[in-house]
Structure 1
Amino acid sequence: MPNKQNKTKLFVLILLPIISLLTGCEFKDIDKNVFVSMIGIDKSDDEDKPYKLTLKLYVPTSSFKQSPKPEYSYITQNGETLSEAIRLMESYSDKELEFGHSKLIVIGEDLLEEKTNEIMDFLLRRPDIQMISWVAVGRPSAEEVVKMVPQGENAAYPALFNYFDDIGTESQFIVTTYLFDFRRRLKEEGIDPVLPIIEVKKKESHFEVNKSLVLMDKKAPYELSSLYTQTFNILTLNAPVADLVINEEGQYFVAKINSMDSRHKVNIKDTNKIEIEIEVSFAGYISESKNPLNPQDLTYYNQLLKQEAEEKYTEFFTEMINTGYDPIGFGLEYKSRTLHNQRMSNEEWEEAYKNAEIKMTINSELKSTGAIQ
């Protein structure tokens, strides 16, 4: 029994000095923080301070009834680096800037060609910026996008978030790019990142998000039109639904696609010669038509849909191949299926990609001509 008591005393004597060395966590009251909603990064007019950083800050309120309309404050600062701009901003406020609730990062077009890697380095190194933040391009500038409050916006949740969070609008023209995926595509060879373009329509007081930019190292960004952005979303299965306009052989109708599948494969035909095999499957119904439709002619309408889709998608891929951009990731597909000691060099792949043959297969299944009552 004495031995047991001695052991207990010895354990306590050893434990007390260890406990005294432990430090408590630092705690800061929530009212000492100000939460950042959006981050805008532009190119400034000052050569010595090339970065122009704009932050959209939530204005705290005690209740929704007290402030039903959205209220924000803004801070804009130039800096030699983004970190310097933030440090200067901190001197403007008596509260700590909290980036943990920031959901959207908007980059001005002028910076995409020059400072993309430096911006990514900053965003990835800061532990308080979420990797699931959305990244977009601001037009005419990131500052104007961040500072605009459109009509009908609710308090505490910017309307711009609804474009990308999948609980608001679900448009076939909107590309959603996360920070972690943007970084992966920038670093990975064989696939090019695509960023949505947010345009400010001041007269109508709303945003327009229906175009996108494809980025590639050492090349100017390539703008995808609304049609090409829609095509990209369908082929990458980012669009839950889509409307396809068919204008063939005197028929003009709109096919509502509510189920789709897309597959692609890179076939090596000969030394430095490749064939890109693409198969796209559609299922849906006809939602609109300028001419009377006969349900018994669904096979014919399916053939028209197949013909129209083949033309549009072949045109899209031909344009991407001719310009050298690869937003779908055919280069990554090739690398994943080829042993490292049998792969082409990057230069050989780029040459083979520009001369690739396209084999397009469309499977369409229109189930009805719609319901008219």
Structure 2
Amino acid sequence: MKTMLLFLLVVPLLSSCGFKDMDKRFIVKAIGIDKSNDKDLPLHVSLKLAIPFSQIKPGQTNTFQFVSDDAKTIAEAVQHLKSKVDKELDFSQSKIIIFGKDLAEERLNRESIDWFLRRREIQGMTFMALGDPSAEQVLKVKPKSERLPGDSLFLSFDQEGTESSFIVTEYLFDFHRRLSEKGLDPYLPVIKPLNGTYLIDQVAVFDKEKMREVLNPEETRVFNELSKKISKFDIETRTDTVQFAVSVSKFGYTYTIDEAKESKPVLTMNVKMTGQTAESSQSFDYSKWKLYEHEAETEEAKRYEKVLRKLQSIGVDPIGLGLRYRATRHHREKEWGRWSSVYPQLVFHVNVKINLSGSGGIK
């Protein structure tokens, strides 16, 4: 009896859990951060909000609301944005964070993503990207093919929809790690609005503070192969003697760093790939396959060396050569100091071995 009486006295003092029904929530699907034109309020924060509806009908276009605000910090912007909507902002299903190009060229460091890391609703697997010319313009695009707000971007990056060797995927947890990890620099895929849809075929490389350069599509493909070791892509060979494309199904590489000559350290990379002919301007003679393989190997080796030298000239290391260097030596901070002097002088030698397994479906 005493226990029951105590229970009845305590229950009125308990606070509610604060749960709100779905019809009282705005689901934030995508977040954009740009540089504003106001010096006192330097950040322009944009949110793409999904409006819940009970049923998706065939041919029905997605419904979303777009809101934005200028503020000193992301937290301040979000609080002020709540005064512009009639429902609670729910970030639990936010799947992509896009930074504008102008902001990335000025600064994009650990402080820039601190709010996202501290919000318990935002997952570490959230996609990261760079919007060109701005994150707001990317978020305002409404592709006819998508059924839910931002759905086309999610399908592009998680490879459940399109699979392209030009699309580089980056996550919040990995981007955060790269901002502080010695020997591993950040990168972000670049999204451009294009006639009611998106173009994603470039990658931006960063140092620990800001964007340094945007690689062109061909360099992006090579970067994707080296950083992600993707196994499905096409390569094209054009020489005076032959012109053909190879659809690669297997890919891998190893490398060693030789410091025997301190003034001329050498990185030797051995690349192996297997594939079959995808397109050719001439009949493929089996007796000349070795020639075709040699021509393709020479062209690919040049592409890999070009990208490696470009990243070296920019002074960034998004592939993680320095991280591997530190991991294979055992003198703590000495390795980093040594690598800082070795990397700018490194000479790249790339050897490519291609095995043509067939000539496609043509008999």
TM over 0.5: yes
Shift in Å at residue 195 of structure 1?
Answer: 0.6
> Which residue matches 1:243?
234
1:140 matched to 2:130? The reply is no
Distance 1:15 1:205, change over 3 A: closer
- When residues 341 and 136 of structure 1 are mapped into structure 2, their CA distance, relative to the original with a 3 A threshold, is closer
Q: Name the residue aligned to 1:228.
A: 219
Deviations 1:214-240 (A, max 9, x none): 000356521111111100111223534
Residue identity matched to 1:187:
S
Query: What is the match of residue 158 of structure 1?
Result: 151
Farther-moved stretch of structure 1 (113-122 vs 263-272): 263-272
**Does the Cα contact within 8 Å between 2:325 and 2:339 map onto a contact in 1?**
no
* Change beyond 3 A, Cα 1:11–1:154: closer
Quote the Cα distance in structure 2 between the aligned partners of 1:264 and 1:100. Answer: 41
Aligned residue for 2:64?
Answer: 72
CA contact (8 A) 1:266 1:333 kept: no
Q: 1:265, 1:330 within 8 Å by CA — same for their partners in 2? A: no
User: Is 1:122 paired with 2:112?
Assistant: no
State the AA in 2 paired with 1:136.
Answer: A
| Residue 267 (structure 1) aligns with | 258
**Equivalent-residue separation in structure 2 for 1:125 and 1:272 (angstroms):** 45
Contact 2:204-2:211 within 8 A present in 1 as well: no
Structure 1 stretches of 4+ with a deviation exceeding 4 A read 9-24, 270-273
Mapped pair 1:361 → 2:316: no
Q: Which runs of 5+ in 1 are unaligned?
A: 1-8
Supply the distance in 1 between the matched residues of 2:26 and 2:209 (Cα, whole angstroms).
Answer: 38
- 2:341 corresponds to 1:351: yes
Question: Aligned to 1:303, what secondary structure does the other structure show?
Answer: helix
Question: Residue 316 of structure 2 corresponds to which residue in structure 1?
Answer: 325
Q: 1:66 to 1:367 in 2, by over 3 A?
A: closer
- Higher mean alpha-carbon deviation, 133-142 vs 320-329, is at 320-329
Instruction: Give the aligned partner of residue 193 of structure 2.
Output: 200
The AA in structure 1 aligned to 2:153 is L
Question: Whole-Å Cα distance in 2 between the matches of residues 130 and 280 of structure 1?
Answer: 35
Native 8 Å contact 2:276 2:358 kept in 1:
yes
**Contact 2:104/2:210 (<8 A) preserved:** no
Question: For residues 47-96 of structure 1, what are the alpha-carbon distances to aligned partners after superposition, in whole Å with 9 as ceiling and x for unaligned?
Answer: 11000001000012121129821111010100111111100111112211
Q: Does 1:183 align with 2:176?
A: yes
2: CA distance, partners of 1:97 / 1:238 = 38
Provide the rounded CA distance (Å) in 2 between the counterparts of 1:52 and 1:155: 24
Say which SS state the counterpart of residue 91 (structure 1) adopts: helix
The within-5 A match list for 1:236-315 is: 236-271=227-262, 274-315=265-306
- C-alpha change, 1:41 and 1:157, in structure 2 (3 Å) is closer
Q: Secondary structure at the match of 1:152?
A: coil
Alpha-carbon spacing, 1:195–1:156, altered in 2? closer, same or farther (3 Å): closer
- 2:84 aligned counterpart, secondary structure: coil
Matched, 1:100 2:101: no
Cα offsets for 1:326-348 (capped at 9, x unmatched): 121111011101113573444x4
Does the C-alpha gap of structure 1 residues 357 and 81 become closer, same or farther in structure 2, counting only changes over 3 Å?
same
Question: Aligned letter for 2:93?
Answer: H
Asked if structure 2 preserves the Cα contact closer than 8 Å seen for 1:213 and 1:222, the reply is yes
The secondary structure found in structure 2 opposite 1:302 is: helix
Quote how far apart the aligned CAs of 1:141 are: 0.6
**Structure 1 residue 10, shift from structure 2 partner:** 11
2:164 is equivalent to residue 171 of structure 1: yes
Structure 2 equivalent of residue 210 of structure 1: 201
Q: Between Structure 1 and Structure 2, how many residues are aligned? A: 362
Could you say which residue in structure 2 is the equivalent of 1:82?
74
Deviations 1:75-126 (A, max 9, x none): 0100111111100111112211001101011100111143422221111111
Contact kept in structure 1, 2:28 and 2:91, CA below 8 Å: yes
Please, which of 25, 41, 49 is the counterpart of residue 33 of structure 2? Answer: 41
Cα distance in 2 for residues equivalent to 1:15 and 1:268:
75
- Bigger-Rg structure (1/2): 1
Residue 186 of structure 1: how far off its partner (Å) = 1.0
* Cα distance, 1:272 vs structure 2: 7.2
Partner of 1:6: none
Residue of structure 2 equivalent to 1:5? none
- 2:260 alignment partner, SS class: strand
Cα distance in 2 for residues equivalent to 1:311 and 1:270: 24
Q: 1:237 to 1:280 in 2, by over 3 A?
A: farther
Please tell me the root mean square deviation across aligned C-alpha atoms, in Å.
2.6
Structure 1 residues 16 and 92: CA distance shift in structure 2, 3 A: closer
Give the letter for the 1:195 counterpart: L
SS state at 1:48 partner = coil
